[in-house]
Structure 1
Amino acid sequence: MSRPTIPADLDELLCSPFMLSDPFPAYRRLRREAPVAWSERWQAWVVSRYAEVGPSLKDKESLSNENRQALLFEGLAPQEKEDLKTLRHYFAQKDVIGSDPPDHTRMRGLVQKAFTPKVIASLQPRIERLAEELVGAAAAKGEFDFVQEVAHPLPVVLIAELLGAPPADRELFKTWSADILGFQGSGRTEYATAMVSQRSLTALFNYMTALIEARRKEPRDDLISVLALAEDQGRRLSRDELLATCNTILTAGHETTTNLMGNLVRELLRAPGAWAAVKAEAGKIPGAIEESLRLDAPKQRNFRRIKRTHEFAGVTLPEGQMIFQLIGSANRDEGEFADPDRFDLERENAGDHLSFGAGIHFCLGAGLARAEAATVVKALMRHAPDARLGERGYTWQERIQFRGPGALWVRTR
């Protein structure tokens, strides 16, 4: 049986610069012409419609998150793979995202203790102080880059503190997070970018190993103490699992929230009447957050490994291959959302988006990300009620897998 393949011109478009600034025309064509199809350029299956992306995110029988990162290195030369053995080793480890039941159930049970509604509520005063400090200082300048001065530092400070690192080390965590994710963001794994990721991953793990040893001797009220002690008590987490989980908490929690805040503020300042509407009625902020998540998913695509050959949407998916689930496309599926390319504060089903995933891998930090975004918007309303897009406007990050402004200039007076 021949496999459905993405048309050659559309497949080329998936690796073009257009995907960085405006991937949505390509997404529309995929939904229409090749909703479940093979990409020669990505060397993976691509799923683009809401009706298929949602179920595939939930499928734990036929699709796997374990060792899925290994597929990203298959196109490299043998010597390049050897040079990257440290990176490949750690991305082969199981963590709270990169695992299946029963290991996933065990690890998620430990990590989710740090993201309960009660814990998030206890973090709210700290989030508010950070937002006041960062937004207040930035707004006083008259014009500032919202990403650089607010959206990027705020979540990484919180994550670093949650892990037990001092605020003074937040610049290290910012650099490590950006570098580690860099090799995944271009659509194809590039050797030079992956080497940068490996160096930062090694630095992060050396740092966290020292922190883990310190907490084993003198536990504190932080997540790393909980995880380090859990490692001792029955070896519920191996050392590699523990380090991989720390990496996941940092990179996933930082990247998603930074992009969410950048996308949200961008839309509130550019969509007609949106900023005035949330200023007049703060109760609209939660809806604005959901609509921003829908319109511009902070993580545009998820990927999984096909662990057994099976039929899906009339297509045979062979064991061992990769499948990309285009969350950014599903969230703008005209079959699910009316006028999907418009930012609509009144959209009733905005919360049906898939930006935080679905099923057993639904994002543990979703509540924290929403709390940070809402707090920052309120701080911006207080310090810059007349905020508008600056003359320099915005630029997009140059990464296909993630979507958010690389820079977003805001004028406050």
Structure 2
Amino acid sequence: MTASTTARNVFDADLPALTYDLSSTPAEVWPSLREARSLAPVAVGPLGPEVLSYDMARAILRDPRFAIPPGINLAAQGVTSGPLFDKVMSSLLCLEGAEHQRLRKLVSKAFTPRATERLHDTIVAVVDELIDQVVDAGRCDVVADIARPYPIPIICALLGAPREDWRLFSQWAEDVVRVFGFSVDVAARQDHVMRAWNALDDYVDAMVEERRTRLTDDLISELIRAEDDGDRLSGAELQMLAVSLLMAGTDTTRNQLAASVQALGERPDQWALLAERPDLAMRAVEETMRHSPVVCGTPRIVVDDVEFAGYLFPAGTFVFVNTFAANRDPAYYDDAESLDLRRERAPAILTFGGGVHYCLGANLARRELAEALRILAARLPNPRISGEAPWKPMLGMTGPTALELEFGA
């Protein structure tokens, strides 16, 4: 694309600078994000341009000229080749173009409302069982006691894995999801991660083989049934998609549940409102994910020189779409820094991404979080956060590392 001569190179446009440390938490970075956004919709951060306004962030998320950098988490740790790198690059999270569109079109047929609705009883049972273990004590660490063990049983039930194998899945997932974070030295643990990933692949292969002779109502069966004009998923694609779901739906749900509990627990009026009006549970999910997200943005690489909103983004530029800042844009949200479950007619949050990479499991994630928050508010009255609740850095997957909660009369 040939850029207009009036477009300003994003690096020479006298944009506000963000100088936060890469280990900074969202709360630590927020004041500088707010100030920078008041000056311009884009700022120059420690890794490159950061998009801060809601309208510009939403547009870039939908623009194919801004592509997801493949394997960025591994590359940041010096892993750019080998079996683990190849594995990650072949996952749905890293695919682009026609192949990505083809797989999403097929997979979307399995992510119907019915597919998530049938998990309702499992979700409720898992939440109640976790609360039963702490309710008599009058206190718990939300991260360790509730959020961390919560999502694996639900994903296993979705896939169709029997309860006796949930612990195996949890162990494999713990190892595999590390490759999508920045906090663990993956380069030194590649062999360990590959062993876990291969074991998970073998298990999924056995599930697929069994379902081909006896289809049920689980996700594996739905993926096998999925067809578009004669096109079906291969065995390798079924395996990859099942593992991609496990990876994508584990740490995000864990961290967001803890973050949402903290956001509500720090505002007793909002917690009490949710307990009184459980119909606001889905609103609580949207509002806490807007206000206190654990995915604060998404990286993009500029494919070719792009003129966008009066700026020229040179080809190869690393762009960070800061959805944390965009979701608090006062041009779109009244009293944007407040958390209010009564907020109405708010624009869609950007936390689940946008465009061709919009989160496939968004409906499942919303249902998991809504049911958990609804039950927690009903069963744990008068919550009080005790002590510090430290968070992981904003870049990568963030969220509380511990959240001590006291509750009761």
Q: What's the TM-score, normalizing by structure 1?
A: 0.83
Deviation of 1:315 (Å): 2.5
Change (3 A) 1:205 1:219: same
Aligned to 2:24: 18
Q: Deviations over 1:120-152 (max 9, x none)?
A: 222212222222222222212321122222222
Q: Which of 397, 400, 408 is the aligned partner of 2:395?
A: 400
Deviation of 1:118 (Å): 2.1
Contact 1:64 1:305 in 2 (8 A): yes
Contact 1:205 1:243 in 2 (8 A): yes
Aligned to 1:63: 66
Q: How does 1:22-171 map to 2 (within 5 A)?
A: 22-32=28-38, 35-36=41-42, 39=45, 41-42=46-47, 44-60=48-64, 62-65=65-68, 68-74=69-75, 80-82=79-81, 85-93=82-90, 95=92, 97-171=93-167
Contact 2:37 2:43 in 1 (8 A): no
Identity of aligned residues (%): 31
Contact 1:58 1:360 in 2 (8 A): yes
For residues 29 and 344 of structure 2, what CA distance do their matches in structure 1 show? 25
For residues 35 and 210 of structure 2, what CA distance do their matches in structure 1 show? 53
Q: How does 1:144-293 map to 2 (within 5 A)?
A: 144-186=140-182, 191-192=187-188, 197-198=193-194, 200-228=196-224, 236-293=232-289
Contact 1:91 1:244 in 2 (8 A): no
Gaps of 5+ in 2: 1-7
More helix per residue: 1 or 2? 1
Contact 1:301 1:402 in 2 (8 A): no
For residues 215 and 394 of structure 2, what CA distance do their matches in structure 1 show? 39
For residues 188 and 150 of structure 1, what CA distance do their matches in structure 2 show? 23
Comparing 292-301 with 237-246, greater Cα deviation is found at 237-246
Give the letter for the 1:92 counterpart. Answer: M
Are 2:347 and 1:344 equivalent residues in the alignment? no
Q: What's the TM-score, normalizing by structure 2?
A: 0.84
* Matched length: 400
Gaps of 5+ in 1: none
Contact 1:180 1:196 in 2 (8 A): no
Contact 1:6 1:38 in 2 (8 A): no
The SS at the match of 1:303 is strand
